[in-house]
Amino acid sequence: RRASSAVSSMQGGPDASGGPHTGTTIVAVAYDGGVVLGADSRVSTGAYVSNRASNKITNLCDNVFLCRSGSAAHTEAISDYVRFYTSQHVSETQQQPSVKSVASILYQMSYSNKGLMAAMIVAGYDPASGGKVFGSPIGGTLVEMPWAIEGSGSTYIWSYFDDEYKEGLSREETEELVLRGIAHAMARDGSSGGLIRLVTVDKDGATKRTVQGKDVPLILGDMPEPGTNAATVVW
């Protein structure tokens, strides 16, 4: 296998088996007072699941986080650079950066390196602007929006978010929206799965939550987890 193929397929990149380029589902939704980020945990190499419990939500600073899809190597490299430049910015200004400032650093890194396989979402909270979400698809464009989804699983849930998102959602409603949206994608997309990680960022900081596979909401068509009985126990 060529080196470029091996690198890009770490997180659902293309290889001989025809796997998707961005095999994952990442979501971020802003609400009044903060933002909720979510991601599945499956990392695939073509049709092979290489990691079922990966963390695709990376902190760039205390108040801004990054959802990653595409090549694991590329997105991790970008996040490391953005975290470094953001820390320099904080050292110089001695204050918490705005979400837009951090997103702009990511935009410069991504747009200047168009060959990278990286579809990302930057989201966070700052006192001046509140909860903010910026989508950065492959190619380096940066777009501010109330909610953003990326990855192969996003194909299955565009209409879900179009229909279910409304202005004025509470924190609890937003967390439920993100959770159920990712669950829908996991039920349809073979490159999304595992558990669901949620990060909520508001004026009090970041709150992390992990939803184990057995606790992920069942979607129409899903098979429930089989129960244990005498016939299935191996003695």
Each residue of 84-127: pLDDT tens digit? 999 999 999 999 999 999 999 999 999 999 889 999 999 999 99
Q: What pLDDT score was predicted for residue 23?
A: 77
Between residues 16 and 207, the one the model is more confident about: 207
Q: What pLDDT score was predicted for residue 177?
A: 97
pLDDT tops 90 at residue 21: no
Using N-to-C axis directions, what is the helix angle for 99-111 and 72-93, rounded to 10°?
130
Average pLDDT of the chain to the nearest whole number? 87
Beta strands in the chain (DSSP E): 26-31, 34-39, 43-45, 48-51, 57-61, 64-70, 118-126, 130-136, 143-144, 147-150, 196-202, 205-211
Type of residue at 136: S
pLDDT tens-digit readout, 152-183: 999 999 999 999 999 999 999 999 999 999 99
Q: How far apart are CA 131 and CA 127, in angstroms?
A: 9
Hey, what long-range contacts does 164-168 have (CB within 8 A, 24 or more apart)? 165/29, 168/32
pLDDT tops 60 at residue 15: no
Structure tokens at 121: 């979402």
Q: What pLDDT score was predicted for residue 12?
A: 46
In sequence order, the 6+-apart residues with CB closer than 8 A to the CB of 106 are 60, 66, 78, 82, 120, 122, 134, 136, 142
Is the four-CA dihedral 162, 183, 31, 151 of positive or negative sign?
negative
pLDDT tops 50 at residue 7: no
Q: Helix H segments across 126-170?
A: 158-164
Q: What pLDDT score was predicted for residue 114?
A: 86
pLDDT tops 90 at residue 132: yes
Q: What pLDDT score was predicted for residue 93?
A: 92
Closest CA to 65 of 25, 36, 22: 36
Q: Is 130 exposed, middle or buried (0-12, 13-18, 19+ CB in 10 A)?
A: middle
Mean pLDDT on 24-41: 96
Q: Among the options 22, 24, 75, 174, which is catalytic?
A: 24
Is 45 assigned a catalytic role?
no
In sequence order, the 6+-apart residues with CB closer than 8 A to the CB of 202 are 33, 34, 35, 125, 131, 171
Q: What pLDDT score was predicted for residue 45?
A: 78
Q: What pLDDT score was predicted for residue 135?
A: 97
Distance spanning both ends of the chain, measured CA to CA: 43
Paired residues of 144 in beta bridges: 134
